[in-house]
Chain A
Amino acid sequence: MSSFDEMFERVKREIRRLMREIEEEFEEDKPMWTTDGRLEPLISMERFPDKYVLLIDLPYADFKALSIDLKGRRVIIECKLREEIRFSRWTVTKEAVFNKYYTEVELPEDIDLAGAYIEKDDLRKIVKIVVPRKRI
């Protein structure tokens, strides 16, 4: 790859990173639930020199109905709640009913999916996904 191509790739990566930051900024104001019963879980991602560690908080989830799909750099997490949850006072709507979690997360570019693994803490209802980083 020529030095021009390398520079072009770097610029493209930087633009993508900035776009992600802009998207995240706007996403902060999005509600974490939908009227059709879906909850968006809280996710935390830590970067280490050799790996990324994602924690997904899924209170009230039924882990027997948990699905984690890794598609390229995208992780799709879906899980039913143990039972339908009804909140009688939920913002302006009279009642809200929730029955599952759903979210999609985009992982950074330098992931190495081959060594990825998942751990489940059934007591705290937290899922841990460990994804190694590519060695450069």
Chain B
Amino acid sequence: MSIRPSLATAPIPAVAGIGLRFPHHRHVIDTRPKTAWLEVHAENYMTDGAPLTHLETIRRDYPVSLHAVGLSLGGADPIDADHLARLKVLAERIEPGLISDHLSWSAIDGVYLADLLPLPYTEEALAVVAGNIDRVQEALGRPILVENPSTYLAYAASVIGESEFLAELALRTGCGILCDVNNIYVSARNLGSDPRGYFSALAAAPIGEIHLAGHAVRRLDDGTEIRIDDHGSTVDPAVWALYAEALSLFGPVPTLIEWDTAIPAFSVLESEAAQAQRMLDRHGSAGAAHAWVA
């Protein structure tokens, strides 16, 4: 029996947390590391298998955030009702502090493409995504966070800037923004835009969480350098610098270290989180609950 008070609906504090993957479940359960909060990919816990059993144990000791990758918020198809129902059941069992998904699409005509695909930023897309977010928030009975994607492609049809698009979604639906600083940097480098310009449109939007991760640098056949958001290394120095700018604009925000491929020892994630925490401390993070409450 846990001696701690119930963490039901425990908010995610404005401090550094760690993205939890299956290889670290046992370590977290057995050693209870001093991590303020954890985030998991919701889709990995949607069956009755061992991962869910582990997560229920872990949840007794840590606030948990659910990060979904499968709602396809930008899809022209209606939200998959079965998938939404699975997320709702999981949220009822885990009582997460935050629930999030991405500004992207993954399915069309009922086929799931297992990737976060970019949208043309048009008025039509804005209406579609806003409608989908409304549907999800209504079903879950709470607002969600929507994350800016990492992109390699920009549609000629786009007429709205991505950060303006996100800010407008927040206005229309009441959702919050999950600001992925690595994604801003990766997209800006891939598309040749200025990452700093991104923040100004978001300054007035409700920023509920920040993501930090590593990315890879590859070269296309034509010699173009491309940055791939593979979450498989330490955070790039340029992304840390951009994170400092984000903190000075947004104030302290719950910040997650994500690492999803070539997963290292948990201590490596802890040392990345400690780096984020040192920067949060300089911006007045006192471990208090963040102002944006889901």
Q: Do A and B bind each other?
A: no
Q: Which residues of A contact B (CB under 8 A)?
A: none
